[in-house]
Chains A and B, each alone.
Chain A
Amino acid sequence: MIKIRNLYKSFGNHKLFQGIDLEVKKGEVIVLIGPSGSGKSTLLRCINGLEHFEQGEIDVAEIALHSLNRSRPSREDAEAIRQVRLKVGMVFQQFNLFPHMTVLENVVEAPVRVLGIDRGTAEKDALSFLRRINLESKALARPATLSGGEQQRVAIARALAMRPQAMLFDEPTASLDPETVGDVLAVIRDLVYQEGMTTLISTHEMGFAREIAHEVVVFDKGEIVEQGPPESIFTSPGQERTRTFLRRVLAK
């Protein structure tokens, strides 16, 4: 579903990725862990074209993103990126809901404007998504009146309303109050177990990672330190750097 080959990415002089390979198969759930600044967000942003990269290839659902080493991509490249974005949904750490729209409008905006679905159908759809995340009653509220956890659930519904084939979550619970983290994780869990959604998540929730991941990928300083099934990574990590990281996270 998503194939990353030999990815090179730097910010100015700072060489972050120097040849990364990663594959996410259909229906697979991969969790990215690692210290902050290790490149998890950047990898997710490269996949849906919010960052350009210097070398390598990213294939998403048969669409190839090549190294687009310019800030202004050509018309064809821009369209390829857009097609990729239609295939994968993205959820941000900061939710990024549209503050001038109601919850319902947030969810129907893209299906109506981008997919051309008629508003009535889109709203019916959106309401069923909101019911699933238990926020139907907030359909007409503004995002600012919602708690962080509620906002993040709406952001997930907004992404799902585009019927993506895969989802990218970038630390979806990192900005939340502890008591609302569970609700958001429950929605993701539901999505993975009920629908078998192909999923790539970066997170610091180790328990959740262990529970949901088919495969865990450990990042450090822009490198993949090791990857494998959660039991082996969490119980018998092969690398010293993984052990150091896990010790530090679990100590908290």
Chain B
Amino acid sequence: MLLFSMPSRLLRTVLALFFFLLAAASANAAPSTLDTIKQRGVLLWGCDIAGGAPLAFPDPKDPSRLLGFEADIAEAIARELGVRAQVVQTEWDSLVPGLERGNYDIAMNGLEIIPERQKRVLMSRPYYVYTLQLVVRKDETRINSIADLKGMTVGTLAGAMADSLLRKIGGVTLKSYSAVWPYDDLALGRIDAAFLDTPITAYYAKPDKRLKYVGPPEGEGFYGIAIRKDDRELKQAIDKVIDKLLRTGELKNIYDKWDLWDKTQTKLFETAAATDTASKLRTDSDEAPLSTFLPSLLKGAGMTVVLSIISMALAIGLGICLAFLRMYGPGALSAASAVYIEVYRGTPLLIQLFIIYYGLPNIGIVLSPFAAAIIGLGMNYAAYEAEVYRGGIEAVPKGQMEAALSLGMPRLLALRRIILPQAFRISLPAVTNDFIALFKDSSIVSVIAMVELTKTYSILAATTLRYFELGLVVALLYFGMSWPLSIMARRLERKLKGHK
């Protein structure tokens, strides 16, 4: 009855929503994922092939081909299902959300079987038993096992077991890596040790002459294939295939090929029990209220603020120099400044950061993540600031300079006392807006292992898989900080326009 008394537009909206939900539900009920896979003849699997060898990585000789033991397993599974495997490149941190969104049918990329993950997705029976290996620099003497890590900075994988083992020791500063491995940073002295899954260690750290293994392999966990919660049928099919690959020895052959078979792998035969043991390793934070994470998020937010302010100060200082050189400098310097501005504005900040952080060490310049972040952001924004100031200076009417000169002021004095203060007022709103933009752009430096607000989020979310609630909290934090700034900027703009 209530429904009919509603205004007709609202009624229509409600009805439309109802039918939409109905349609969505029935679409879901229609063919199962397994049927869909067979129909399209392709098994789509999510994987971060940028994550590297030996799990799954592009063939250096022919990047369209995929190598790695997971690529081999994917192919074997597809073959058993009577289809072809096709990889869908996805950031490691986003593998589970991507699966849930339906971007692919399964996700396989060193995903540990842990309860937090099992809350959101089904995990297949294990296809690999991994341990964790501690790696240090060749000349390291302080560290002989993970017990010695108190007070040290250790590189790990986001959301992995290493994390929770080290957390138990306490006093260890963790640095999560996902896009690149920590071994270069370790060799360069940016961190004291690295504690990663054995397949990765074997491939990247073992051959590295600057590094060495210490202590026995620690922990023990299982990699499984992630499958959407309602795809029980697909899980059964995949479990059956893995079982078959194990029994026929094909799985062992694959691991032999990558030099990864060891006797711990025999545990793969005792599946169900084993997954439970592994699960017990993780006792974290799943039911914890969101407020548990607030201190680390606030700490991350604090870092974001510090980072933004220092970067902006650098951008303003450098920007003024660039604008001056471009406008008043001698020919060569003016051209150099113009080139700087164009190059920095014409290339992605992300690439600039990678070059500064991972590239410069090749020519002997090793920067801490903090320094690299500030230099990267500062130098990038300086290019934009320079153009803002140039615009500001050019917007001051010509008559101002002429009046100052006609009073006998030298050009430099006129610039300093008459032109710049006016240019400053003209530029101020744009500078404030740039600061807000920089504040948000600072989230990009999370790629160079700088733990600010966004990185804190991605670590917490990868560990707890609570992407949604934590994401909202983090977005709120960003917004809560940038909103007052933009109100201020607008007020400033109005005020400056007022008494011109």
B partners with A: yes
Residue positions of A touching B, CB distance < 8 A: 48-50, 78, 82, 85-86, 89-90, 92, 94, 96-100, 109-110, 113-115, 142, 144, 155, 158-159, 162
Q: How many residues of B contact A (CB 8 A)?
A: 21
B418 — which chain A residues lie within 8 A by C-beta? 98
* Alpha-carbon gap, A155 to B407, bound state (A): 11
Q: Are A90 and B410 in contact (CB under 8 A)?
A: no
In B473-500, which residues have CB < 8 Å from any A CB? 499-500
When the two chains form their complex, are residues A113 and B421 in contact, meaning their CB atoms are under 8 A apart?
Answer: no
* Contact between B408 and A162, CB atoms less than 8 A apart: yes
- Bound complex: CA A92 to CA B407 (Å): 12
Taking CB atoms, residues of chain A closer than 8 Å to B422 are 98-100
* Selected A-B contacts with CB under 8 Å, 12 pairs: A48-B406, A49-B405, A78-B411, A92-B403, A97-B403, A98-B400, A109-B407, A114-B408, A142-B499, A144-B499, A158-B407, A159-B406
Which residue of chain B is the closest to A143 with respect to CB atoms?
B500
In the bound complex, what is the Cα–Cα distance between A86 and B413 (angstroms)? 15
Contact B500 A85 (CB under 8 A): no
- Of A96, A142, A158, which is within 8 A of B399 by CB? A96
What residues of A have a CB within 8 angstroms of the CB of B408 in the complex? Answer: 82, 85-86, 110, 114-115, 162
Known: A96-B399, A98-B400, A99-B422. A89 touches B500 (CB 8 A): no
| CA distance in complex: A178, B404 (Å) | 28
Q: Is B247 an interface residue (CB 8 A)?
A: no
Give the distance to chain B from A125, nearest Cβ to Cβ, in Å: 15
> Are the C-beta atoms of B399 and A50 separated by less than 8 Å?
no
Q: Does B79 contact A (CB under 8 A)?
A: no
Q: Which 7 A-B pairs have the closest CB atoms?
A: A96-B403, A110-B407, A96-B399, A90-B406, A86-B408, A85-B408, A114-B408
Chain A residues, Cβ within 8 Å of B148: none
- Contact in complex: B406, A89 (CB < 8 Å): yes
State the CA gap A45–B399 with chains docked (Å): 12
Closest to B407 in A: A110
Write out the residue numbers on chain B whose beta carbons fall within 8 Å of the beta carbon of A86.
Answer: 408
* Distance in angstroms between the alpha carbons of A127 and B129 in the assembled complex: 89
Total A-B pairs, Cβ < 8 A? 61
Query: What is the CA–CA distance of A85 and B405 in the complex, to the nearest angstrom?
Result: 8
Closest to B406 in A: A90
* A113 and B399 within 8 A (CB): no
Beta-carbon contacts under 8 Å, B368-426 to A: 397, 399-400, 402-411, 413, 417-418, 421-422, 425
Q: Which residues of B contact A162 (CB under 8 A)?
A: 407-408
Residue from B402, B403, B409, B499 in contact with A114 in the complex, judged by beta carbons closer than 8 Å:
B409
Interface centre among B404, B407, B499 (most CB of A within 10 A): B407
Shortest beta-carbon distance from A93 to chain B in Å: 9
Question: Quick check: A114 and B425 within 8 Å, CB to CB?
Answer: no
Q: Which residue of A lies closest to B400 (CB)?
A: A96
Cα distance, A89 to B405, chains bound together (Å): 10
Q: How far is the CA of A39 from the CA of B403 in the complex (A)?
A: 20
- Extra pairs beyond A50-B406, A114-B408 (14, CB < 8 Å): A85-B405, A85-B407, A86-B408, A89-B407, A92-B402, A92-B406, A94-B399, A96-B403, A97-B403, A109-B417, A110-B407, A113-B413, A142-B499, A162-B407
Chain A residues with CB under 8 Å of B413's CB are: 113-114
- Specify the chain B residue showing the minimal Cβ separation from A109: B417
Q: Is B417 a contact of A96 with CB atoms below 8 Å? A: no
Cα-based distance from A98 to B499 in the complex (angstroms): 13
Residues of B within 8 A of A109 (CB): 407, 417
Task: Point out the residues of chain B lying under 8 angstroms from A50, CB to CB.
Answer: 402, 405-406
Residues of A within 8 A of B405 (CB): 49-50, 85
Task: Return the chain B residue nearest A98 by Cβ.
Answer: B418
Residue numbers in B under 8 Å from A115 (CB-CB): 408
Give every chain A residue within 8 A of B399 (Cβ-Cβ): 92, 94, 96
Contacts of B406 in A (CB 8 A): 48, 50, 85, 89-90, 92, 159
CB distance from A160 to the nearest CB of B (A): 11
CA distance A50 to B500 in the complex (A): 26
Which residue of chain A is the closest to B402 with respect to CB atoms?
A: A50
Give every chain B residue within 8 A of A97 (Cβ-Cβ). Answer: 403
Complex alpha-carbon distance, A86 and B408, angstroms: 5
Of B405, B406, B417, chain A has the most CB atoms within 10 Å of the CB of: B406
Residue of A nearest to B425 (CB): A100
Contact B500–A144 (Cβ < 8 Å): yes
B499 to chain A, nearest CB (A): 6
Tell whether, in the assembled complex, residue B400 and residue A114 are in contact, meaning their CB atoms are under 8 Å apart. no
B241-282 vs A, CB cutoff 8 Å, 1 = contact: the mask equals 000000000000000000000000000000000000000000
Residue with the greatest number of chain A CB neighbours at <10 A, chosen from B411, B425, B499? B499
Contacts of B421 in A (CB 8 A): 100
CA distance A92 to B413 in the complex (A): 20
Interchain nearest-CB distance for B358 vs A (Å): 45
Q: Which residues of B contact A92 (CB under 8 A)?
A: 399, 402-403, 406
How many angstroms between the C-alpha atoms of A162 and B499 in the bound complex?
28
Query: Which residues of A have CB within 8 Å of B411?
Result: 78
A98-B418, A109-B417, A113-B417 are contacts. A82–B403 as well, Cβ < 8 Å?
A: no
- The chain B residue sitting closest to A168, CB to CB, is B406
Which B residues are CB-close (under 8 A) to A158? 407
Query: What's the nearest-Cβ distance from chain B to residue A24, in Å?
Result: 17
CA distance A98 to B408 in the complex (A): 15
Asked whether B403 lies within 8 Å of A113 as measured between CB atoms, the reply is no
A202 to B408, CA, bound (A): 22
A99–B500 CB distance below 8 A: yes
A90 to B403, CA, bound (A): 8
Give the chain B neighbours of A100 by CB distance below 8 A: 421-422, 425
Contact in complex: A110, B409 (CB < 8 Å): yes
B499 contacts across to A, CB distance below 8 A: 142, 144
Distance between Cα atoms of A183 and B413 in the complex (Å)? 32
- In the complex, what residue of chain B is closest to A90 when comparing beta carbons? B406
**A99 CB contacts on chain B under 8 angstroms:** 422, 500
Query: Which residues on the A side are within 8 Å of B402 (C-beta)?
Result: 50, 92, 96
Give the Cβ gap from B130 to chain A, nearest Cβ, in Å. Answer: 67
Given the complex, which residues of A lie within 8 Å of B500, measured CB to CB? 99, 144
- B421 nearest CB across to chain A (Å): 5
Nearest chain-A residue to B398 (Cβ)? Answer: A96
Chain A residues with Cβ below 8 Å from B397 are: 96
CB B416 to nearest CB in A, in angstroms, measures 9
Contact residues, B289-339 vs A (CB, 8 A): none
Would you call A159 and B400 a contact (CB within 8 A)? no
| B55 nearest CB across to chain A (Å) | 63
**Distance from A180 Cβ to chain B, minimum over Cβ atoms (Å):** 19
A114 nearest in chain B by CB position? B408
Please indicate the chain B residues that have their CB under 8 angstroms from the CB of A89 in the complex.
406-407
Complex: chain B residue closest to A48, CB-CB: B406
Closest approach, in angstroms, between the C-beta of A156 and any C-beta of chain B? 12
Contacts of B425 in A (CB 8 A): 100
**A220 nearest CB across to chain B (Å):** 26
